[in-house]
């Protein structure tokens, strides 16, 4: 092959999302007729998940496939663009924003300043919420101890009256099982279900309301610039294919898991009404404004995002 790249994923080997990413690498090899070979490394294999941006910039890794909110500590704008809490209720909405609503350009501006090239976007889908206690709406979150994800999501939950607790993912299962926390942000419904979380915390909220992560595929800019144009196009096109495979694959898996959960007498799946979702979104928007004030790029993300939502009539 002419080009050989190492991309580190933020998913562990064996995770369904990791398999979809490997599928992308296979697709690239096939479409480029072996000219580009991409090796996907599991999370933590070369550097920790929250250090890959620096590693790609330094040329240690060639690229990364990861949640962009990990870079919120470098610029709050990453936190806002990757997870504007409450903005999206469907993966296609987020992808439309990135591909046609100015998101792509923002991502490139953000990543470009660190020496990275944004290739494309994907997402595992709308995350489901795991809970031991029945939650029918925002008011029920009051006083709920929950494992909160990194990033601005914790603030929104705080505003809703919940008590976010910071726990490593390896302690989520035990802590839920023993009741150290009542609820948790973890992953999409199928993954939660497969890991047994819905059994120990039998009141999942599906579809979720809190998080639809933006997963970026990006690489070292110098190495990108050295690629011929047709190869650049090929990479961008294949990411779009990978993105559709991942979203559809996870959606099917979610539906299968949901069917299983619904017949399980111990599990009650809760679905929030539109009013409750809107209430939560409102809390989210307040948080967007707070983040926007933290950096010029965050303000730019906020302006572009709200303009897009307004245009689509999604901001009432």
Indicate which single residue of 2, 92, 171, 230 sits in contact with other proteins (rule: CB under 8 A): 171
Residue tagged 């070292």 (tokens): 220
Annotate each residue in 179-218 with x if it binds other proteins (CB under 8 A) or - if it does not, as one string. xx--------------------------------------
- Return the number of the residue (53 or 128) whose C-beta is nearest other proteins: 53
| Total site size for other proteins, rule CB under 8 A | 56
Query: Any contact of residue 73 with other proteins (CB under 8 A)?
Result: yes
* Shortest distance (Å) from residue 69 CB to other proteins: 7
Query: Any contact of residue 71 with other proteins (CB under 8 A)?
Result: yes
- Return the number of the residue (154 or 217) whose C-beta is nearest other proteins: 154
Query: Any contact of residue 105 with other proteins (CB under 8 A)?
Result: no
- Return the number of the residue (101 or 152) whose C-beta is nearest other proteins: 152
Indicate which single residue of 98, 145, 189, 298 sits in contact with other proteins (rule: CB under 8 A): 145
Query: Any contact of residue 75 with other proteins (CB under 8 A)?
Result: yes
* Residues 50-69 close enough to bind other proteins by CB under 8 A: 50-51, 54-55, 57-60, 69
Q: How does strand 3-9 pair with strand 36-41?
A: parallel
> For residues 28 and 231, what is the distance between their CA atoms, to the nearest angstrom?
9
User: What phi and psi, each to the nearest 5 degrees, are found at residue 232?
Assistant: -60, -50
Query: Any contact of residue 79 with other proteins (CB under 8 A)?
Result: yes
Residue tagged 């726990």 (tokens): 167
Chain length of the chain: 316
Indicate which single residue of 1, 100, 113, 293 sits in contact with other proteins (rule: CB under 8 A): 113
Structure tokens at 260: 């299983």
> For residues 76 and 95, what is the distance between their CA atoms, to the nearest angstrom?
20
* Shortest distance (Å) from residue 56 CB to other proteins: 11
* Shortest distance (Å) from residue 153 CB to other proteins: 8
- Return the number of the residue (47 or 138) whose C-beta is nearest other proteins: 47
Looking at 93-101, 145-153, 242-250, 251-259, which segment touches other proteins (CB under 8 A)? 145-153
Q: Tell me which residue of 68, 103, 25, 64 sits closest to 220, measured CA to CA.
A: 64
Looking at 7-15, 87-95, 211-219, 269-277, which segment touches other proteins (CB under 8 A)? 7-15
Return residues touching other proteins (CB under 8 A).
6, 12-14, 39, 41, 45-48, 50-51, 54-55, 57-60, 69-76, 78-79, 113-115, 143, 145, 148, 150-152, 154-155, 158, 163-171, 173-175, 177-180
């Amino acid at each position: 092959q002419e080009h050989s790249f190492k991309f580190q994923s933020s998913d562990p080997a064996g995770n369904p999302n990791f398999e979809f990413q490997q599928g992308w690498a296979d697709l690239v090899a096939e479409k480029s007729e072996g000219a580009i070979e991409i090796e996907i490394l599991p999370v933590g294999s070369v550097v920790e998940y929250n250090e890959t941006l620096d590693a790609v910039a330094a040329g240690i890794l060639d690229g990364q496939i990861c949640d962009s909110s990990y870079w919120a500590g470098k610029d709050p704008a990453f936190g806002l663009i990757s997870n504007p809490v409450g903005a999206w209720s469907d993966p296609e909405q987020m992808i439309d924003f990135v591909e046609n609503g100015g998101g792509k350009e923002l991502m490139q501006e953000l990543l470009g300043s660190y020496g990275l090239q944004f290739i494309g976007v994907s997402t595992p889908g709308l995350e489901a919420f795991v809970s031991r206690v029945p939650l029918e709406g925002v008011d029920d979150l009051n006083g709920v101890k929950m494992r909160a994800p990194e990033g601005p999501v914790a603030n929104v939950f705080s505003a809703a009256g919940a008590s976010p607790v910071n726990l490593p993912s390896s302690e989520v299962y035990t802590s839920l099982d023993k009741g150290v926390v009542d609820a948790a942000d973890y992953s999409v419904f199928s993954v939660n279900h497969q890991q047994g979380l819905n059994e120990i915390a039998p009141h999942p909220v599906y579809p979720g309301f809190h998080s639809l992560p933006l997963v970026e595929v990006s690489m070292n800019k110098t190495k990108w610039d050295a690629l011929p144009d047709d190869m650049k196009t090929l990479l961008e096109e294949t990411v779009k294919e990978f993105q559709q495979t991942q979203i559809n694959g996870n959606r099917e898996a979610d539906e299968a898991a949901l069917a299983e959960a619904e017949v399980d007498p111990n599990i009650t799946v809760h679905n929030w009404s539109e009013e409750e979702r809107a209430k939560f979104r409102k809390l989210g928007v307040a948080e967007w404004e707070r983040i926007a004030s933290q950096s010029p790029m965050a303000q730019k993300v906020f302006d572009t995002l709200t303009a897009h939502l307004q245009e689509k009539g999604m901001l009432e």
